[in-house]
Chain A
Amino acid sequence: MENQKNEQTAKEYEKYVKKVTPTHSLPVNMARAFLVGGLICVLGQYILNTAQAMGADKEEAGCWCSLILIFLSVLFTGLNIYPKLAKFGGAGTLVPITGFANSVAAPAIEYQKEGQVFGIGSKIFTIAGPVILYGVVSSWVLGLIYYVMQMWR
């Protein structure tokens, strides 16, 4: 009798937990990421097209595109808008270059109290550091393979 009662309350509790846990279903999150990420890329495309229309070549246009997107992302991070956007967009705000800029600016702002060198200076690389390190190393390894293959030919 006692056992049965416990089981029942456990079940009720489980139901309660399920009810109050915010339901972030994967399809909904994916749709949001799709929307936000897609729109950021459209903005990038707009910058690319505008730069090329103003006479920049493909490479320069790409540079303008990253430059402006990074500037906007840092600005929105400072104004505390980007975190709100990230809450909604999830991976949609993480994957584009704006997510990288956010990961640089956010710790720089957050840790300024700890000083120029060990606060801003080292925390600015919290995420940028690994990204740059593994990006450089992996492209170096791949480039080495390319180099060796070229020698064989």
Chain B
Amino acid sequence: MDYINAFWVGGLICALVQILLDRTKLMPGRIMVLLVCTGAVLSAFRIYDPFAEYAGAGATVPLIGFGHLLYQGVNDAVAECGVLGLFMGGLKASATGISAALIFGYLASLVFKPKMKE
């Protein structure tokens, strides 16, 4: 059941973003920024958690999940240590994703040669 929910929710988010991609002049980079900020806002309004409870990876794998991680990290750190938490929590919570992308990305630049565009 969780596979079905992940499939249709994750798929639906992608299909909706496809409308933005086709019908507006938004570039992929802007769309990613938009998704992350949307995730942070949804998380701040406490909408994201029940949604993720239902959709599982359908909610966490799309980039809105990244925004949620950032906000959730800030939120928890503020609850724990006040003002300092505002600056501590976000990157700490999303460290795995950012580090993995940078490290693997860098290693890939050592291993792979640029391909000619087809």
CA distance A26 to B7 in the complex (A): 20
Q: How far is the CA of A62 from the CA of B65 in the complex (A)?
A: 10
The reply on B97 being an interface residue by CB < 8 A is yes
State how many angstroms separate the Cβ of A38 from the closest Cβ of chain B. 3
Residues of A within 8 A of B62 (CB): 37, 41, 95-97
B83 CB–A CB distance under 8 Å: yes
Q: Dominant SS at the A interface? A: helix
For the residues of B in contact with A, the DSSP-based class is helix
Interface flag for B50 (CB, 8 Å): no
Choose among B17, B90, B108, B112 the residue that contacts A136 (Cβ–Cβ < 8 A). Answer: B90
B61-76 Cβ-contact flags toward A at 8 Å (1 or 0): 1110111011101110
| Interface contact B11-A103, CB-CB below 8 Å | no
A142-B18 contact, Cβ under 8 Å, with A35-B11, A42-B3, A104-B101: no
0/1 string, B31-73, CB within 8 A of A gives 1: 1110111001101100000000000111011110111011101
B19 to A: closest C-beta gap in Å: 7
**Contact-residue bracket for chain B:** 35 or more
Contact A71 B32 (CB under 8 A): no
Q: Which of A36, A80, A126, A146 contacts B78 (CB 8 A)?
A: A146
28 contacts between A and B (CB under 8 A): A34-B11, A37-B10, A37-B15, A41-B9, A42-B7, A42-B57, A45-B3, A75-B104, A78-B108, A94-B21, A95-B63, A99-B32, A100-B63, A100-B101, A101-B100, A103-B28, A109-B109, A109-B113, A112-B109, A135-B40, A135-B67, A135-B94, A136-B90, A139-B70, A140-B86, A140-B90, A142-B43, A146-B75
Interface residues of B (CB under 8 A from A): 2-3, 6-15, 17-23, 28-29, 31-33, 35-37, 40-41, 43-44, 56-58, 60-63, 65-67, 69-71, 73-75, 78-79, 82-83, 85-87, 89-91, 94, 96-98, 100-102, 104-109, 111-115
Give A residues with C-beta under 8 Å from B: 24, 26, 29-42, 44-49, 62-63, 65-67, 69-71, 74-75, 77-80, 89-92, 94-101, 103-105, 108-110, 112-113, 120, 124, 126-128, 130-132, 134-136, 138-140, 142-147, 150
